[in-house]
């Protein structure tokens, strides 16, 4: 307990899955949490649970592709808690599309949310970290940002770009004690992945060497490490949480 004591964290996509698990775990470890999501009714349930359990959190409706809404989120976080120490760019959408059957508006939507949303988050949060002289940015990429995944062209392109962006930002802000790392989950059972997994369970099992799939908490603990001072010498890294997928 207390690994994030005194820290303020913004976590996007905090209503469900990995984002919700991260928000709850961060609060348990002492962070003040600003959870955001477009599903604000579901998000509020997570926020209420945190506050009932003795944590401190607020929830904000937030489209991460909107620059104006990013300004609002950061302003609210600073107004309420005085600073921002941690940014977890967790919000994202899936896109089971190949190049042949993809419309450009679909491509742009995935890029806007999965990549540009993270760019905007860093654009508006890093200046707040500069004021305090430290910070940790954790960009939730995917195993698809490291290896190819057939049938998910926009998704893998965005996640691969996020991986490279994280490294570039890590180098750019290292001298200011602002760390930037990416996390690459494999098969994690979440509301986003569960429907497709039910239809093709044997296919998904081929990618996980362990005899079980990952849970949101498995990723949240890795994100907690990168958010905490325990990882003070870690930046520009890729934390792979994939059940052995890339060990083959």
Average pLDDT of the segment spanning 3-17: 97
Average pLDDT of the segment spanning 90-114: 88
Report which of residues 146 and 100 the model is more confident about: 146
Q: Which residues are catalytic?
A: 155
The tokens for 105 are: 């508006």
pLDDT band at 66 (very low <50, low <70, confident <90, very high): very high
Q: Which residues contact 4 (CB under 8 A, 6 or more apart)?
A: 26, 29, 30, 31, 86, 224, 227, 228
Q: Are 72 and 58 in contact (CB under 8 A)?
A: no
- Where are any strands of DSSP class E within the chain? 8-12, 32-37, 56-61, 86-89, 135-140, 178-185, 238-241
Look at residues 238, 221, 241 and name the one whose alpha carbon lies nearest to residue 230: 221
Percent pLDDT > 90 in the chain is 81
Residues 124 and 140: their CA atoms lie apart, in Å, by: 18
Write b or e for each residue in 100-119: b if 16 or more Cβ atoms lie within 10 A of its Cβ, otherwise e: eeeeeeebeebbbbbbbbbb
Average pLDDT of every residue of the chain:
94
Identify the pLDDT of residue 94.
85
Residues 186 and 142: their CA atoms lie apart, in Å, by: 7
Residues 152 and 20: their CA atoms lie apart, in Å, by: 24
Q: Which residues contact 198 (CB under 8 A, 6 or more apart)?
A: none
Residue 64 pLDDT exceeds 70: yes
Q: Are 107 and 154 in contact (CB under 8 A)?
A: yes
Identify the pLDDT of residue 99.
74
- In three-state secondary structure terms, 140 is strand
Average pLDDT of the segment spanning 130-152: 92
Residues 202 and 237: their CA atoms lie apart, in Å, by: 31
Residue 201 pLDDT exceeds 80: no
Look at residues 35, 24, 27, 122 and name the one whose alpha carbon lies nearest to residue 77: 35
pLDDT band at 81 (very low <50, low <70, confident <90, very high): very high
Helix (H) or strand (E) holding 26: helix 17-28
Provide the phi-psi class of 236: left if phi over 0, else alpha when psi is between -120 and 50, else beta: left
pLDDT band at 109 (very low <50, low <70, confident <90, very high): very high
Identify the pLDDT of residue 203.
73
pLDDT band at 200 (very low <50, low <70, confident <90, very high): low
Ranges 13-22, 58-67, 98-107: which has the least confidence: 98-107
Question: Which domains does the chain possess?
Answer: 8-238 (3.40.50.720)
Please state the pTM of the whole predicted model: 0.95
Please state, as a whole number, how many other Cβ atoms lie within 10 Å of the Cβ of residue 221: 12
Average pLDDT of the segment spanning 149-162: 89
Identify the pLDDT of residue 1.
75
């Amino acid at each position: 307990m207390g690994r994030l004591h005194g820290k303020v964290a913004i976590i996007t996509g905090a209503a469900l899955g990995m984002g919700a698990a991260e928000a709850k775990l961060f609060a348990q470890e002492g962070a003040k949490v600003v959870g955001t999501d477009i599903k604000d009714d579901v998000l509020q349930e997570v926020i209420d649970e945190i506050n009932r359990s003795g944590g401190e959190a607020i929830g904000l409706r937030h489209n991460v592709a909107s620059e104006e809404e990013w300004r609002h989120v950061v302003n609210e976080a600073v107004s309420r808690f005085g600073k921002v120490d941690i940014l977890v760019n967790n919000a994202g959408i899936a896109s089971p599309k190949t190049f042949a059957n993809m419309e450009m508006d679909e491509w742009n939507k995935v890029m806007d949310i999965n990549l540009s949303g993270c760019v905007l988050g860093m654009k508006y949060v890093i200046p707040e970290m500069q004021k305090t002289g430290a910070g940790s940015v954790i960009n939730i990429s995917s195993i698809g940002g490291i290896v190819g995944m057939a049938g998910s062209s926009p998704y893998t392109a965005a996640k691969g770009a996020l991986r490279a962006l994280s490294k570039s930002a890590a180098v750019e802000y290292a001298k200011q004690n602002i760390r930037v790392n990416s996390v690459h989950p494999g098969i994690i059972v979440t509301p986003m992945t569960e429907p497709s997994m039910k239809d093709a369970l044997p296919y998904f099992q081929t990618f996980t060497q362990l005899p079980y799939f990952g849970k949101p908490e498995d990723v949240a603990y890795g994100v907690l490490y990168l958010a905490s001072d325990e990882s003070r010498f870690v930046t520009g890294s890729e934390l792979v949480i994939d059940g052995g997928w890339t060990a083959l």
